[in-house]
Every structure is written in structure tokens, then in C-alpha cells.
Structure 1
Amino acid sequence: MVIMIADEQILSAKQVCQNCLMADHSGLPRWRGDQLGCGKALQKSNSRQATVYKCQMGFNVTQVD
């Protein structure tokens, strides 16, 4: 599941990305393998922590299981 982190809230990517021009045809973030294609990594992942990205709209984005 992909989530968006805004201040103290966790939002579904479906709520945010459907209005973004960078989203894919289904209104979700563009993932290329394990990397977000429409943002930049803020921190590198390790085996214990998920990678957090900053999307073009300014949200922090991560993928959780």
C-alpha cells in the first residue's frame, strides 16, 4: 500500500494522486520497480526502514506492507 504523509496525517495515495498530473493512468504514483518515479528519495532504505520520497506535489510518500 502506498501512503502519503502530511504533517500529522496519513492519507491514501488514491485521495491525493488522482488529481496530480504526474500520476499514472489509474491515479496512483508512478513506481519504477522499488523507486517513486514522480519524486526524490529523502532517505535511503535499509532492511529495517522503508524509503521515504518527496513527491512533486510536496507530500512525503512511502510504501508499506
Structure 2
Amino acid sequence: MLVILTDDQIFAPEQVCRSCVLANNNGQPRWQGGKLRCGQAIHKCTEQNLEQYECIMGFRIANIQ
């Protein structure tokens, strides 16, 4: 499940990505083959199984499994 992280809040991607020109037709980040296509990996915490990415717009996106 993808979520958008800020310093003190968690958002659903639809709340942030729907206005991004790089989002798909459903307002979701472009996620394909286990990788974020509209950003880059910045952190992976193996203990919590949490991958973090930074999108081109500057938001942090986490893949929570």
C-alpha cells in the first residue's frame, strides 16, 4: 500500500497525486514492477519492511507491506 508521508501526517496518494501530471488516470503514483516510476528510492528499512521514495514533486512516498 502506498502512502504519502509528511513530518506529522499520512495521506492517501489520491489526495496528493491527483493534481500531478505524472500520476496515472486514477490519481495514483506510477507504481510498476515494485518501483516508483515518478520518483526515486531514498530509504529502505528491512526491519519494518518499509520502502521510501521521493517523488519528482518532492513528496515522500512509502510502500507499506
- Shorter-chain TM-score above 0.5: yes
| Greater CA drift, 51-60 or 41-50 | 41-50
Q: Structure 2 length as normaliser, TM-score? A: 0.86
Following superposition, which runs of at least 4 residues in structure 1 exceed 2 angstroms of deviation?
A: 44-49
Structure 2: 5+ residue stretches without partners: none
Residue identity (%): 37
**1:1-65 equivalences in 2 (<5 Å):** 1-44=1-44, 46=46, 48-65=48-65
Matched residue count: 65
Provide closer, same or farther for how the CA distance between residues 64 and 44 of structure 1 changes in structure 2, counting only shifts above 3 A: closer
